[in-house]
Amino acid sequence: MRKPIVVFFLIFCFVLNGAVPAFAQSSDETYAKIRKEGMENSQIMRTLHYFTDVYGPRLTGSPNHVAAANWAARRMTEWGFDNAALEPWEFGHPGWVNERASGFITSPVQDSLVFEVLAWTPGTKKKGVRGSAFQLNVPMKPNPNNPNFMMPPTESELNAYFESVKSQIKGKMVLVGKPAAVPVSINPPAKRIDDDTIKQRFDPNNQRPQPNFFPQAPRPQPGQLTGQQLAERLDQFLADNKAAVRVNDAGREHGQIRAFNNRSFDVSKVVPTVVMRNEDYGRIWRLMDDNTPVSLEFNIQNRIIPEGTTSYNTVAEITGTDKKDEVIMLGGHLDSWHAATGATDNAIGCAVMMEAARILKSIGVKPRRTIRVALWSGEEQGLLGSQAYVKKHFGSVEAPLPGYEKFGGYFNIDSGTGRARGMSVFGPPETATVLREALASFADYGFVGVMNSRSRNLGGSDHTSFNQAGLPGIGVMQDPIEYGTHTWHTNLDTYERIIEDDVKKSAIVIAAAVYALAMRDELLPRFAPADMPKPPETPTPTPTPTPKAKA
């Protein structure tokens, strides 16, 4: 009788005191399976092909986005995920697509033009329009506090200028502003972050504030119009005076074009508008500066999608076991801009997150918590889809819904093709410690660590919709590769810009992180009520051309 008692006692002690080592051993075995599945059977590039080549671009409210979302739901169902569905939210604006666009110089030479159409603007007549080019050069002057920024005029200065040129606008192809002088990049930024730099950044004992690579423009001077006011006045002036086409300078090197949208989303308030590559725009302007008249021709066919007022987030799950009412989420935004096929921004983020969950399903993981993939829409218009989802399902720390306390973290990728190098999680320092320890074995993939964040500001990407609510949003920092320099929101954002080895390794790291949170006994630590950072007094807006938060 004594021997069974001893054995029972030893087993009891092992369970009581050895649960963590046992889990660690299990994690090591699972991580090995994750690595093998992710490197040998990856579905990322095929998923990316469908999102970009078949369905891209995927502007919010467009049929392309809905088709891509439906395909993703079907694909995840084929992989064995549960409850794959499109969840509607109200975008509030009709959808828009550009179906055809061509442009030419017809005099003094004949040549084709390279441009993109501004979203939510009208098209031309069916057979196109022809007209002479006109230089609209609104008076601007350097800001006295920062001469790198040009100040809009005052109301009276703008009115005087408009009065002087309004008789010359009707039927013209109006070039708005002098061409940007784009400097040659002698020392382009590195495509990867060197190890010493990133290790210092993620050192938990020596974290420093991140530098602001995107400084804000100085505040307007007294009496000066804001940039938004000037834009609204320009739109109204060109529409009232019946300009044929508005032409904006892309202002970027090597033919790069970023074309966003008419901020009102109302095609009746603007004229047909294109964003032209700097090289073509500059050529036309220089010809006119040399007293050579220039004639242009455009044929732009756009279509409004009334049903686009309702958009959709795509969700699918791997149902948990003993803690299935608790949720770990991962995702990215499926919508894109329309100048290219939205590969690095952000089809690849969606493909990586779908793959991370697929890996866990394929190797037979039975997660304790439910794992939920979410592919958002409306991100490019201000994180709208993820905000709607968080509000509907979780609420906020100030007004929690029943699911709020059962939420265990949301992982987000949205900075291109570069490898995952680190993470930032909203929560106290011990929140970062959990993830840092769980992912320590992926140093060979270049993953260096996790830092915590206290910011509830909204902006950058969809994890901040969770942060703003007081929930643990987890942003992934990646090697920049060509994201900020070439592909972010540009006409170069295509399948060819993806580095397959990088995205495979990112999916493996994410899969391991999701596994760790889905299996541990407790949810991620959160701020105690007294320590919870306060939200911004005014929710931080996300303007159209918003640089992505890197982590």
Give residue 136's pLDDT.
98
Tens digit of each residue's pLDDT, the chain (551 residues): 433 333 333 333 433 344 333 444 478 999 999 999 999 999 999 999 999 999 999 999 999 999 999 999 999 999 999 999 999 999 999 999 999 999 999 999 999 999 999 999 999 999 999 999 999 999 998 888 787 788 899 999 999 999 999 999 999 999 999 999 999 999 999 999 999 999 999 998 886 655 544 556 667 677 889 999 999 999 999 999 999 999 999 999 999 999 999 999 999 999 999 999 999 999 999 999 999 999 999 999 999 999 999 999 999 999 999 999 999 999 999 999 999 999 999 999 999 999 999 999 999 999 999 999 999 999 999 999 999 999 999 999 999 999 999 999 999 999 999 999 999 999 999 999 999 999 999 999 999 999 999 999 999 999 999 999 999 999 999 999 999 999 999 999 999 999 999 999 999 999 999 999 999 999 999 999 999 999 988 654 443 344 454 44
Give helix then strand counts, H and E, for the chain. 13, 18
In which region does residue 83 sit, left (phi positive, over 0), alpha (psi from -120 to 50) or beta (all else)?
left
Q: What is the pLDDT of residue 218?
A: 67
CA distance 219 to 197: 33
473-478 β-sheet, strand order:
82-90, 310-318, 369-376, 323-333, 407-412, 473-478, 420-426, 449-453
- The helix (H) or strand (E) run that includes residue 360 is helix 348-362
What is the reported pLDDT for 221?
Answer: 72
Q: Which of 136, 107, 126, 104 lies closest to 243, judged by CA?
A: 136
- pLDDT at residue number 209: 55
Q: Phi and psi of 309, rounded to 5°?
A: -60, -25
In whole angstroms, give the CA distance from residue 516 to residue 366. Answer: 12
Which two structure tokens, joined as six digits, stand for 475? 């942003």
Q: Which pLDDT belongs to residue 290?
A: 98
